[in-house]
A = this chain, B = another copy of it.
């Protein structure tokens, strides 16, 4: 056995070693935190000890070559740069901006670390994320009167009264536990409270709508978003964020079955079958070397290189940078909104929707054809890392067709709904009633929210199941027939 062989073994095995073996210096403050929290919350301390934050100081991070840097700040304050990014570094950061700061054993700490705190080292990522729809996911949902009616119907505790249904407004807990779990809650300081702890009675600030890790969380410091939605506490690893299971937390349901589609695609198969040989931690992330099939992050977020140092895709935290179409129909698929804050969008019918009920996009709030072409080109460049131009063009031609046909099927459902409203078998817009709360109306919603979306995601990512029998074209057609049958059988005037 030669030494050369042993070297290979060593290199191959090291990524199994906890990074903690090569820990950076700890600040005195963080050491103080750890003194208690190793006992009080051992799980997160252990998790953090396995993190890059625990093992590489900002100064070391800054010293890396440009393309290998994970820090986008050009400089870091001296008091922060030399030691590990530990408890104190984040939970005392920007204390003056935090209404949720409180005295904790002599330190002014805050519970809710926000994107503004992370931005001290990662300002470009924060900036990009602020232009990402996800950062506005809370307001875009709860400040849109149309969606608000949907939430009421879903979350409200309804009351059956004979053959009538009386709606009640949903409570804050239920909203936080359902829609806002992904969209993000509004976290506010609501007072103080004394709690019994392992270290005796201690005072804390009470927070509303807590806990929450939603992508559009409104933080006490006024910032929006939570980096920990995707970079899970307290390891904050790029590896986790690059794995599709992270995206699946919010993008797996029938409304947005992205992960399900991915899991039956060739890409998803290769990932599940072969990723034991991949390196999810490399920056830049090299196609054909570090990975051999894309995950969500490959196409939508990560810095992708080839092995010759050529850039296939820039890192971005505005996830729609390479997305011309928003295939998530509202109710029709449409060009992506220009602004991340979509609450200003209003259609000709006065509804806060990016398309008319007839399907026409509300153009002035949406990106134009030139921008769509630019984004499509950026996406195709990623695909071209493995596929020929012909292959890629053929793929996207099908997606275009799928957008067209699913929008058509949504229009047909809308025609039935209009008839139902006219005939009085349901009450909606013409009657100035909630258009989302009766049986046939909920079927209309599923036509685009479940079946239109599923079909388009299947086209976009090559997961045909979800475009056919699994909530795809089959379901669109069957649902249309159900709506027609309702139109034929439901009595009018009984609401």
Residue positions of A touching B, CB distance < 8 A: 1, 3, 5-10, 12-13, 16-18, 38-47, 49-50, 111, 153-155, 157-160, 162-163, 165, 171, 173-174, 176-179, 181-182, 193, 195-197, 204, 206-207, 210-211, 213, 232, 235, 237, 239-240, 243, 245-246, 248-250, 252-255, 263-266, 268-270, 272-274, 276-277, 286-289, 292, 306-308, 310, 384-391, 394-395, 397-398, 401-402, 405, 408-409, 412-413, 415-416, 419, 437-439, 442, 449-450, 458-459, 462, 464-470, 472-474, 477-478, 480-482, 484-491, 494
- On whether the beta carbons of A232 and B270 are closer than 8 Å, the reply is yes
- Known contacts A50-B292, A197-B389, A264-B248: does B487 contact A163 (CB below 8 Å)? yes
A409 contact from B157, B235, B391, B468, Cβ within 8 A: B157
CB-defined contacts of A415 to chain B, threshold 8 Å: 160
- On whether the beta carbons of A310 and B39 are closer than 8 Å, the reply is yes
CB-defined contacts of A397 to chain B, threshold 8 Å: 173
A415 vs B160: C-alpha distance when bound (angstroms)? 7
5 of the cross-chain contacts (CB-CB < 8 Å) are A38-B308, A43-B306, A177-B464, A248-B264, A255-B469
- On whether the beta carbons of A488 and B491 are closer than 8 Å, the reply is yes
A491 contact from B254, B272, B489, Cβ within 8 A: B489
CB distance from A373 to the nearest CB of B (A): 14
- On whether the beta carbons of B245 and A269 are closer than 8 Å, the reply is yes
- Known contacts A401-B177, A459-B177, A488-B494: does B248 contact A269 (CB below 8 Å)? yes
A388 vs B398: C-alpha distance when bound (angstroms)? 49
CB-defined contacts of A478 to chain B, threshold 8 Å: 439, 442
CB-defined contacts of A162 to chain B, threshold 8 Å: 419
- On whether the beta carbons of A42 and B307 are closer than 8 Å, the reply is yes
- On whether the beta carbons of A177 and B288 are closer than 8 Å, the reply is no
- On whether the beta carbons of B439 and A482 are closer than 8 Å, the reply is yes
- On whether the beta carbons of A485 and B477 are closer than 8 Å, the reply is no
- On whether the beta carbons of B165 and A288 are closer than 8 Å, the reply is no
- Known contacts A160-B416, A288-B47: does B398 contact A176 (CB below 8 Å)? yes
CB-defined contacts of A269 to chain B, threshold 8 Å: 232, 240, 243, 245-246, 248-249
CB-defined contacts of A389 to chain B, threshold 8 Å: 195-197
Interface centre among A196, A270, A395 (most CB of B within 10 A): A270
CB-defined contacts of A7 to chain B, threshold 8 Å: 1
Question: Closest B-chain residue to A268, C-beta based?
Answer: B245
Question: Closest B-chain residue to A41, C-beta based?
Answer: B386
- On whether the beta carbons of A394 and B210 are closer than 8 Å, the reply is yes
Question: Closest B-chain residue to A306, C-beta based?
Answer: B42
A450 vs B470: C-alpha distance when bound (angstroms)? 10
Question: Closest B-chain residue to A179, C-beta based?
Answer: B468
- On whether the beta carbons of B390 and A174 are closer than 8 Å, the reply is no
- On whether the beta carbons of A45 and B111 are closer than 8 Å, the reply is no
- On whether the beta carbons of A390 and B207 are closer than 8 Å, the reply is yes
CB distance from A75 to the nearest CB of B (A): 32
